[in-house]
Homo-oligomer: A and B are copies of this chain.
Amino acid sequence: MTTTGKQLFTTLAADGTLTVAVEDVAFDAPTGNQVLVKMEAAPINPSDLAILVGGADVENAEYTRGKFVARMPKAANAAAKARHGLKLPAGNEGAGTVVEAGDSDAAQALIGQRVSCVPGNAYSQYCLADAAMCLPLGDHTAEDGASAFVNPMTALGFVENAKADGQDAILHTVGASNLGQMLTRICQEDGIELVNVVRKGEHVDLLRGIGAAHVVNSSDDDFMDQLTGAIRETGAFYGFDPVGGGKHVDRSFRAMEQVAAEQMTEFSRYGSTQQKRMFIYGRLDTSPTILTPSYGFGWTLSGWLLFPFLQSVGRETVARMQQRVSDNLTTTFASTYKSRVSLEDMLTKDAVMDYRTMKTGEKYLVTPWS
């Protein structure tokens, strides 16, 4: 038996025309370890936006009900060559109720339960999801569980990574995001020192309000002094950055090196021997990353992505992380949303122009049956 419902698709033609539209589709019956989830809520994360709108000119797009058509600038279109002509779903994660299940015991056990899931096509009324990646939500609402995967597992992943590398302090360059708030709470629980960088006074207050000890404001004139001070106090030579473009990483390395240089007894032409480590885990700014030659050769910068990380740590660790999320869904791992939109309403000009700016703490939630 097939089920029909609405789903969002994003298609980039070779000529740079981006079409994002809601369509009626038929969903296959789940088999094996699959479940069919009637989706109730799905967040729009920065990691969804690349595929949803990318660098398209959404200001001058043509908007009709449940659809927009925009031009992708030449450079962005060339960079996206691999997806030309592909009609792609969007939405990494969400939550809903299992209405049908494949033969496996794990799948059958979920029938009738509300779960969070990671189907990759969450902007849809129905999704086929892997039972092994579903988190039963018990009495929690779909909104409570909609963001139970990407941000919680990423924030936990940072701490796992830091511990595996023998670190007891972390720098996070965008502290006030939903993810940043989760990381703040996790670090408190785990006794890891955390340096949060924010851009606004109200974000300093927000993080201090949830107990953050080291919050520095990049809008302040003495920002670099604040940053070196916090690194000096915590020993955070290890950090994560979701911005990517510009000098976020560079200034982090510079501040780390300044603290390391203070502790040197002798001048070295090659900089300090303190190893400085940064990870770029997002591209809120798609301009190039700029690294100045200001911190010697004792540094390493990597890209960081959730799914390869989860594969690298193995099933047992992932299960332990998921259990922790499940046990603390509305406390440590709580998310907040600015707006709730239907599938059609998420494709209006007002909505697109707003969520594509990715303002800290202003996340959208898609509710596909509203």
Stretch at the interface among A20-28, A78-86, A191-199, A318-326: A78-86
Report the minimal beta-carbon distance from A264 to chain B, rounded to whole angstroms: 8
A301 within 8 Å of B (CB atoms)? yes
Whether A304 contacts B297 in the complex (CB less than 8 A), given A86-B267, A290-B290, A291-B291, comes out as yes
Whether A298 contacts B305 in the complex (CB less than 8 A), given A267-B83, A267-B86, A267-B88, comes out as yes
CA distance A297 to B306 in the complex (A): 10
Q: Please, which residue of chain B has its CB at the minimum distance from the CB of A268? A: B82
Report the minimal beta-carbon distance from A252 to chain B, rounded to whole angstroms: 14
Stretch at the interface among A111-119, A222-230, A280-288: A280-288
Within 8 A of B (CB), among A79-101: 79, 82-83, 86, 88
Q: Please, which residue of chain B has its CB at the minimum distance from the CB of A305? A: B297
CA distance A297 to B304 in the complex (A): 6
In the complex the two chains form, is A50's CB within 8 Å of B269's CB? yes
CA distance A250 to B286 in the complex (A): 14
Within 8 A of B (CB), among A274-317: 280-281, 283, 286, 288-294, 296-305, 307-308
Q: Please, which residue of chain B has its CB at the minimum distance from the CB of A247? A: B288
In the complex the two chains form, is B270's CB within 8 Å of A305's CB? yes
CA distance A145 to B339 in the complex (A): 71
A31 within 8 Å of B (CB atoms)? no
In the complex the two chains form, is B293's CB within 8 Å of A298's CB? no
Q: Please, which residue of chain B has its CB at the minimum distance from the CB of A303? A: B297
CA distance A294 to B79 in the complex (A): 7
A332 within 8 Å of B (CB atoms)? no
A286: chain B residues within 8 A (beta carbon): 293
A270: chain B residues within 8 A (beta carbon): 305, 307
Q: Which residues of A contact B (CB under 8 A)?
A: 50-51, 79, 82-83, 86, 88, 244-245, 250, 261, 264, 267, 269-270, 273, 280-281, 283, 286, 288-294, 296-305, 307-308
List the 6 shortest-distance A-B pairs measured between CB atoms, nearest first.
A297-B303, A289-B291, A297-B305, A300-B302, A51-B269, A288-B290
Further pairs besides A79-B294, A83-B267, A300-B300: 11, Cβ < 8 Å: A79-B293, A82-B264, A83-B269, A88-B267, A270-B305, A281-B297, A286-B293, A289-B291, A290-B290, A300-B301, A301-B301
